[in-house]
Amino acid sequence: MQQIIRLLAGLTLLVGFGPSTALAQTTERPIPYPVVPPADFQAAVQNGTRTTTGEPGPNYWQQWTDYTLRARLLPEEKRIEGSARLLYHNNSPDDLPIVVLQLIQNLHAEGMARNRQAEITGGIEIERVTVADSLLTASHSQGPLISQVLAFVPVDRLSMFVGRLDPGYYVEGTTMPLVLPTPLASGDSIEIEVDWSFTVPQRGAPSGRMGWNADNLFHIAYWYPQMAVYDDVVGWQIDQFLGNAEFYMGYGSYDLTVEAPQGWMIMATGELMNAEDVLQPNVLERYRRAHGSDEVVHVLTAEDIAAGMATKVSEAGPLNWRFHADTVRDVVFSAMRKSQWDAVRTPVGDLDGDGTTDYTLINSFWRAEAPLWVKEWDYARHSIAYLSKWTGFPYPWPHMTSVEGGGIEGGGMEYPMMTLMGDYTFPNASERALYGVTSHELAHMWVPMIVGTDERRYSWMDEGTTSFNGGYASADYYGQPTPVAGNSMGYLQVARMGAEGEIMRLSDFHYPGPAYGIASYEKPAMLLNTLRALLGTDRFDAIYQDYIRTWAYKHPKPWDFFNLFSTASGQNLDWFWRSWYYEIWTLDQAVASVTAGDGGTTIVIENHGWVPMPARVSITLENGETLQDEVPVEAWLRGATRAEISVPAGSPVVRVEIDPGQVFPDIDRDNNVWEIDSND
Ligand SMILES: [Zn+2]
Residue 448's identity, in one-letter code, is: P
Tally of domains within the chain = 3
Residues 69 and 207 in one domain: yes
Ligand 1 center to 61 CA (angstroms): 27
Ligand 1 center to 458 CA (angstroms): 12
Ligand 1 center to 528 CA (angstroms): 16
CB-based contacts of 144, cutoff 8 Å, min separation 6: none
Ligand 1 center to 347 CA (angstroms): 23
Tens digits of per-residue pLDDT, 627-639?
Answer: 999 999 999 998 8
Ligand 1 center to 2 CA (angstroms): 5
Residue 78 reports pLDDT greater than 70: yes
Tens digits of per-residue pLDDT, 320-379?
Answer: 999 999 999 999 999 999 999 999 999 999 999 999 999 999 999 999 999 999 999 999
Ligand 1 center to 634 CA (angstroms): 35
Q: What is the dihedral of CA 644, 648, 652, 658, to 10 degrees?
A: -30
Tens digits of per-residue pLDDT, 485-519?
Answer: 999 999 999 999 999 999 999 999 999 999 999 99
Ligand 1 center to 447 CA (angstroms): 9
Tell me the average pLDDT across 229-245.
97
Pairing of strands 64-74, 252-260: parallel
Ligand 1 center to 412 CA (angstroms): 8
Ligand 1 center to 438 CA (angstroms): 10
Across 367-431, where does the E strand assignment appear?
399-404, 412-415, 418-421
Pairing of strands 134-135, 124-131: antiparallel
Ligand 1 center to 521 CA (angstroms): 8
Q: Note the pLDDT of residue 84.
A: 98
Please report whether residue 11 resides in a domain.
no
Choose the final residue of a domain: 225, 244, 263. 244
Residues 469 and 554 in one domain: yes
Residue 144 reports pLDDT greater than 70: yes
Report d(CA 335, CA 267) in Å as an integer. Answer: 7
Tell me the average pLDDT across 151-177.
90
- Which residues, in sequence order, are bridge partners of residue 96? 184
Please report whether residue 329 resides in a domain.
no
Ligand 1 center to 466 CA (angstroms): 6
Please report whether residue 114 resides in a domain.
yes
Highest mean pLDDT among 296-310, 630-644, 654-668: 654-668
- Region of 664 (left: φ > 0; alpha: ψ -120 to 50; beta: rest) is beta
Q: Is the peptide bond before 206 cis (omega within 30 degrees of 0)?
A: yes
Please report whether residue 372 resides in a domain.
no
Ligand 1 center to 264 CA (angstroms): 28
Ligand 1 center to 527 CA (angstroms): 17
Residue 11 reports pLDDT greater than 80: no
Q: What percent of the chain is modeled with pLDDT above 90? A: 90
Please report whether residue 515 resides in a domain.
yes
Q: Note the pLDDT of residue 87.
A: 98
Q: Note the pLDDT of residue 649.
A: 94
Ligand 1 center to 6 CA (angstroms): 16
* pTM greater than 0.85 (yes/no): yes
Q: Note the pLDDT of residue 227.
A: 98
Ligand 1 center to 543 CA (angstroms): 22
Ligand 1 center to 255 CA (angstroms): 27
Report d(CA 396, CA 552) in Å as an integer. Answer: 11
Residues 39 and 73 in one domain: no
Residues 84 and 223 in one domain: yes
Ligand 1 center to 474 CA (angstroms): 15
pLDDT band at 678 (very low <50, low <70, confident <90, very high): low
Q: Note the pLDDT of residue 161.
A: 86
Instruction: Give φ, ψ of 202 to 5 degrees.
Output: -70, -45
Instruction: Give φ, ψ of 407 to 5 degrees.
Output: 90, -15
Residues 48 and 86 in one domain: no
- How many CB atoms neighbour CB 293 within 10 A? 15
Angle made by CA atoms 480, 481, 483, in degrees to the nearest 5: 115
Residues 99 and 221 in one domain: yes
Report d(CA 663, CA 589) in Å as an integer. Answer: 13
Tens digits of per-residue pLDDT, 448-459?
Answer: 999 999 999 999
Ligand 1 center to 323 CA (angstroms): 25
Q: Which helix (H) or strand (E) holds 45?
A: helix 39-46
The mean pLDDT value of the chain amounts to: 94
Tens digits of per-residue pLDDT, 378-396?
Answer: 999 999 999 999 999 999 9
User: Which of these, 113, 133, 137, 134, lies nearest to 123 by C-alpha position?
Assistant: 113
Q: Contacts from 152-159 at CB under 8 Å and sequence distance 24+?
A: 154/235, 155/94, 155/95, 155/96, 155/97, 155/235, 155/236, 156/94, 158/97, 158/98, 159/97
Residues 148 and 100 in one domain: yes
pLDDT band at 573 (very low <50, low <70, confident <90, very high): very high
Choose the final residue of a domain: 244, 267, 291. 244
Estimate to the nearest angstrom the gap between the alpha carbon of 456 and the chain centroid: 10
Residue 629's identity, in one-letter code, is: D
Instruction: Report how far apart, in Å, the C-alpha atoms of 534 and of each of 426, 476, 659 are.
Output: 39, 22, 12
Ligand 1 center to 306 CA (angstroms): 35
Choose the final residue of a domain: 582, 606, 634. 582
Q: Domain containing 42 — which CATH number?
A: 1.10.390.10
Residues 577 and 500 in one domain: yes
Ligand 1 center to 3 CA (angstroms): 7
Range of the domain at 511: 31-59+457-582
Residues 203 and 69 in one domain: yes
Least confident of 21-30, 73-82, 84-93, 624-633: 21-30
Q: Note the pLDDT of residue 298.
A: 98
Please report whether residue 320 resides in a domain.
no
Q: Note the pLDDT of residue 551.
A: 98
Q: Note the pLDDT of residue 162.
A: 86
| Runs of H (alpha helix) within 444-536 | 459-477, 489-497, 515-517, 523-535
Residues 654 and 554 in one domain: no
Residues 67 and 207 in one domain: yes
CB-based contacts of 451, cutoff 8 Å, min separation 6: 462, 465, 547, 548, 551, 552, 554, 556
Ligand 1 center to 15 CA (angstroms): 30
- Which residues, in sequence order, are bridge partners of residue 23? none
Please report whether residue 491 resides in a domain.
yes
Ligand 1 center to 450 CA (angstroms): 14
Ligand 1 center to 415 CA (angstroms): 10
pLDDT band at 23 (very low <50, low <70, confident <90, very high): very low
Across 522-611, where does the E strand assignment appear?
589-597, 600-607
Ligand 1 center to 161 CA (angstroms): 39
Q: Note the pLDDT of residue 236.
A: 96
Ligand 1 center to 287 CA (angstroms): 29
Q: Note the pLDDT of residue 328.
A: 98
Task: Find the length of the chain.
Answer: 680
Ligand 1 center to 420 CA (angstroms): 12
Tens digits of per-residue pLDDT, 117-143?
Answer: 999 999 999 999 999 999 999 999 988
Please report whether residue 280 resides in a domain.
no
CB-based contacts of 55, cutoff 8 Å, min separation 6: 550, 560, 564
DSSP state of 138: B
CB-based contacts of 654, cutoff 8 Å, min separation 6: 620, 621, 622, 675, 676
Least confident of 60-69, 147-156, 421-430, 475-484: 147-156
Q: Note the pLDDT of residue 3.
A: 57
Pairing of strands 79-89, 653-658: unpaired
Residue 170 reports pLDDT greater than 50: yes
Q: Domain containing 626 — which CATH number?
A: 2.60.40.10
Please tell me which residue, 28 or 85, carries the higher pLDDT value. 85
Q: 3-class secondary structure for 44-57?
A: HHHCCCCCCCCCCC
Ligand 1 center to 413 CA (angstroms): 7
Residue 22 reports pLDDT greater than 80: no
Ligand 1 center to 440 CA (angstroms): 6
Residues 633 and 508 in one domain: no
What DSSP line would sit under 63-123, residue for residue?
Answer: -EEEEEEEEEEETTTTEEEEEEEEEEE--SSS-EEEEEEE-GGGGGSTT---SS-------
Ligand 1 center to 661 CA (angstroms): 28
Tell me the average pLDDT across 304-322.
92
Q: Note the pLDDT of residue 391.
A: 98
- Which residues, in sequence order, are bridge partners of residue 345? 361
- Region of 394 (left: φ > 0; alpha: ψ -120 to 50; beta: rest) is beta
